[in-house]
Each structure stands twice: as structure tokens, then as C-alpha cells.
Amino acid sequence: MSYRSERSEFGNFTKLEIFNEDRSVLLEIIPEKGAKVNRLVLLTNSQSYGVIDGYTTPEEVEENAYSKSSLLAPFPNRIADGTYQFEGKTYQLPINMPEEHNAIHGYIEHESFEVTLVQEVENGCVVELRHVSEGCEGYPFPFTITVRYTLSESKLHFEFMVVNTGNTNMPFGFGWHPYFTLGGAVEDIELKLPAVKEIVVDERLIPTGEKKAFVEFSELHRLENTKFDTGFTCADGQKKVILHERTKKIQLELDMGDKESIWQYVQVFTPPQDSIAKNTLAVEPMTCEANAFNTGEGLKVLKPGEELGDAFRVKVTELL
């Protein structure tokens, strides 16, 4: 199977598409909006499945409602009041979630990435993008981040690498914010989580410090009326989240690696049914929990010149 790439204008943005001969496998990226994966079509047993819910117009991309498929750096999730201390100094981030008075999701989801590589490889195609950041208000720490998407028939392999390019230590966290769709109603999705503990939060969705047992979805279980906006910490062992749709005969697997991987946290979110993300389920791999700049839970501190990186993959299989 051979692949080709194509760029096209999309309002003020560019769509970079990677696809096979008949477009039964396709990856769509918007480099100017945080290297966002806006569309992903995977193939298994001669059947194609669109598994990422993206934006359909340039105006939706600009608005970025619900941060669909955003890369979350230099922190995922929330920072309480946008305030944190690091190595004896206090910093104030912009409050971009005013109803909660929190900072959320970092800022690179709004930054432009340079496409540095598009290359066909054996049984797939690699796309690499890079962003050089000088920091932002409340985060005066420069870094370079590189993301690499490898597309093949039934899976997308994602890698990232960040380098501290400053001359001081740098706090850092990373996450991805995809909304998965299996083509049907969200209540019909069956979900299986790895061994996890629930991160207890307050009314502003800031962790209280308590973790509690959570076993309801340790085996495949239909979502039905379950509503999530819930963070989990992963136990040692294989970290796979499985979404299963019997009617559509599709299974999606988010594989975050084993106990050696840095994906120690995952957020699960069911959007409101009157929203632009209805009938989807957000499953967000994260390197740290919410408010980690204050609690240190999963926080990575990079020395000048130090690198941090890891990978995960999204895979589909057709059910018999």
C-alpha cells in the first residue's frame, strides 16, 4: 500500500492530508492549530472507520470548542487559579476557563507547527512537525517540541519529544485531547479501562489529593447514562483503554504502553449531547494529573538541554 500527501487551503489554515490510493486510510492534520489531528480514518478487513471527531469548517477550527484533538502542553488539564510556584518563584498564567477561574490545557494548541518531514515508510507514512516556543505569559520557559505521526492501515502511532532550550529548569506536562467516535450513539459504546484509581476533585475539578478505587469499567461495560469528566491514575502494568461497539462491529484501542511509559494518567470525558462533540468520548493520555504544577503529581522537571518523550498508539480492529 502506497501513500501520498496533499496540502490545501482551509480558511486561514492549511489541511495536510496523508492517504492511500483510495483514501480508505487517511490522516488530516492542521499544522497552524497545534498540529491538530482533525481526521483519522483507519482500515481493517476492507472496512474503513473514521474514529476522530474533528472540525468541519475553518471557523470551528478557529473557535476550537472543546479543544478537539489538541496537544496539551506545557500542562494538560487545569491549574487552580492559574497560579503556581516553581523553584521559589510565583507565576500567574492567563485564566482561560473563567467560569472555574482556572488555566486549562496549556497554550500550544493555538500555536503553529512547521512540517519538517513527510516520508513514506514500509507499510505506512511518517509526518513530523515541530514548534519552537519562547514561553508565554506565566510560563517563561523556552522549549522545542516535535511530534511524529506514523500512519498505517489500522493504526496511528504517535510520538513526541520536548527539549528544554532555556538555561533554567523547566516544569512540564503533556497530554492529547482526542474525541473518539465509533459511528453510533455514545451510550452504546462499551468501555474498558486499565487498572486505575479515580482522582477525586472539588467543584472546580481540581484534585483534592484523594484517590479512590474504581472498578466499574475494569471489564467491557456499556456506557449507557454514565457521565465522565474524570481523571484516573494508572496502576503498573499494561495501560490500554478499549472502546467497543457491537452494532458497528468495531473496537478501538488506545495503547499507552506499560509501567515504563510516562503516560501515568488518563482523563475520560463525555461531552454534553447538545455540544459540537456529541456522541463522542474523549480519552486523554496525560503525563501528569490536573494541577500538577502545584501538587507535583506526575510533574516532569527538565534541566537545561534535557529531553522528554514517549509514544502511544490508536488501533482499530473489526469484530467478528
Taking only the tens of pLDDT, the chain with its 320 residues reads 799 999 999 999 999 999 999 999 999 999 999 999 999 999 998 899 999 999 999 999 999 999 999 999 999 999 999 999 999 999 999 999 999 999 999 999 999 999 999 999 988 999 999 999 999 999 999 999 999 999 999 999 999 999 999 999 999 999 999 999 999 899 999 999 999 999 999 999 999 999 999 999 999 999 999 999 999 999 877 899 999 998 888 999 999 998 789 999 999 999 999 999 999 999 999 999 999 999 999 999 999 999 999 999 999 999 87
Where b means 16+ CB within 10 Å and e means fewer, 286-311 reads: bbbbbbbbbbebbbbebeeeeebebb
- How many angstroms separate the CA atoms of 112 and 95, rounded? 21
| Torsion sign across C-alpha atoms 196, 199, 200, 205 | negative
Domain 3-184+271-315 has CATH 2.70.98.10: yes
Which residues are bridge partners to 171 per DSSP? 301
CB 129 within 8 A of CB 116: yes
By C-alpha distance, which of 45, 57, 49, 43 is closest to 11? 57
Cα 221 from chain centroid (whole Å): 23
